[in-house]
Amino acid sequence: MGSFIPIYLPIAQISVDLLLIVTIGAAVGFLSGLFGVGGGFLITPLLIFLGIPTTIAVATGSNQVVASSVSGALAQWRRGNVDFKLGTVMLVGGFVGSTVGVFVVAWLKKRGQVDLFISLTYVLMLGVIGSLMLVESLNAIRKSRGGGVAAPKRKGHSWLDGLPFKQRFQRSKLYVSAIPPVAIGVFVGFLSAIMGVGGGFVIVPALIYLMRVPTSVVIGTSLFQTIFVAGYTTVMQAWQNQSVDAVLAILLVVGGVVGAQFGVRVGQSLKGEQLRALLAALVLAVAIRLAFGLILKPSELYSLTPLGG
């Protein structure tokens, strides 16, 4: 057993092991570098497992997302892989969705239902997305071993082509309605406030399969949008719910920066479909752990806490 180095979290109002929190940040940073995701959907459940109040875990997890997204977006911008116009249009919806989500959290918090709602949202989203990712990645591995090739992307018109308010997104080489990216932004912004995530696991497949944005542009545009939505969500959570613990956020970011460097190096030695399969398994594991926490009988049926004073 390592030595316990206590540090008090003023907003969470509990003492935690400093090295453990930094290690968690490093582990999530490693996974971020390995899989190319922000890690918000992992950091929040891990903090909840440690006993951090759910609302604080969600709001503070947004800080981790901002930190990891900034460096990634800058690297993609240098390569010309950011569609700023498309990202800005999604931001409009993102700010709306985040604002609604923050007030929903405040409303649920007053009624004592916020923990249950956030946990159910995590189980549902991670369970569905993890299952779809696992099926897709296993099929890709099977085809690669059998020498098969992926089916070409379906081309042609869809119902989205008939929507109004068309805009030309030159970097993505698209002329489409602004309604779908705004709608995607609203949904991702809401998830950002509820789950403390950047929403990249929703934005990336939506832009690729729904709007047919070139894959090379998707990652950078997603990171660009995530910076501002997650940052705005953090500010709103601090103002409306007073649930951002700066001490916890700093420790996580310090560990995350170090861990991400090692994750990038390891990820270069694995194939894309192998990475997706590992990520899917990890997502499903987190969803299953949260689901068990909801259905298992707690060790204490009742708890007594002093009223705020």
In a domain, residue 262? The reply is yes
Cα–Cα distance between 195 and 188 in angstroms, integer?
Answer: 10
| Residue 147 pLDDT exceeds 70 | no
In a domain, residue 153? The reply is no
Residue 198 has a pLDDT of 65
Cα–Cα distance between 253 and 177 in angstroms, integer?
Answer: 37
| Residue 197 pLDDT exceeds 80 | no
Extract the tokens encoding 80: 């010309």
In a domain, residue 151? The reply is no
Q: Which residue has the higher pLDDT, 40 or 81?
A: 81
| Residue 90 pLDDT exceeds 60 | yes
In a domain, residue 302? The reply is no
* CA proximity to 187, closest of 148, 152, 229: 229
Residue 148 has a pLDDT of 52
Other CB atoms within 10 Å distance of the CB of residue 120:
14
Percent of the chain with pLDDT over 70: 77
Q: How far is CA 188 from the centre of its chain?
A: 9
Q: How far is CA 142 from the centre of its chain?
A: 28
In a domain, residue 100? The reply is yes
Residue 275 has a pLDDT of 67
* pLDDT average, residue stretch 156-181: 73
Count of domains for the chain? 1
- pLDDT tens sequence across 227-239: 888 778 778 777 7
Extract the tokens encoding 149: 């090739």
Residue 154 has a pLDDT of 45
Cβ-proximal residues to 261 (8 Å cutoff; 6+ apart), any chain: 33
CA distances from 55 to 58, 68, 122, 131, 174 (A): 5, 21, 13, 26, 39
Residue 169: band (very low, low, confident or very high) from pLDDT cuts 50, 70, 90: confident
Model-level pTM?
A: 0.67
* pLDDT average, residue stretch 292-304: 60
* CA proximity to 218, closest of 171, 167, 154, 157: 171
Residue 273: band (very low, low, confident or very high) from pLDDT cuts 50, 70, 90: low
Cβ-proximal residues to 210 (8 Å cutoff; 6+ apart), any chain: 160, 180, 184
Other CB atoms within 10 Å distance of the CB of residue 189:
30
The domain in which residue 175 lies consists of 6-145+163-294
Least confident of 86-100, 117-131, 270-284, 295-309: 295-309
Residue 57: band (very low, low, confident or very high) from pLDDT cuts 50, 70, 90: confident
- pLDDT tens sequence across 240-265: 767 778 788 888 888 877 777 777 67
Q: What is the mean pLDDT of the chain?
A: 75
In a domain, residue 1? The reply is no
In a domain, residue 304? The reply is no
Residue 3: band (very low, low, confident or very high) from pLDDT cuts 50, 70, 90: low
Residue 54: band (very low, low, confident or very high) from pLDDT cuts 50, 70, 90: confident
In a domain, residue 206? The reply is yes
Extract the tokens encoding 187: 């949904």
- pLDDT tens sequence across 198-223: 666 677 777 777 777 776 677 778 87
Residue 34 has a pLDDT of 65
Cβ-proximal residues to 27 (8 Å cutoff; 6+ apart), any chain: 255, 259
Instruction: Say if CB 174 and CB 168 are below 8 A apart.
Output: yes
Cα–Cα distance between 211 and 233 in angstroms, integer?
Answer: 25
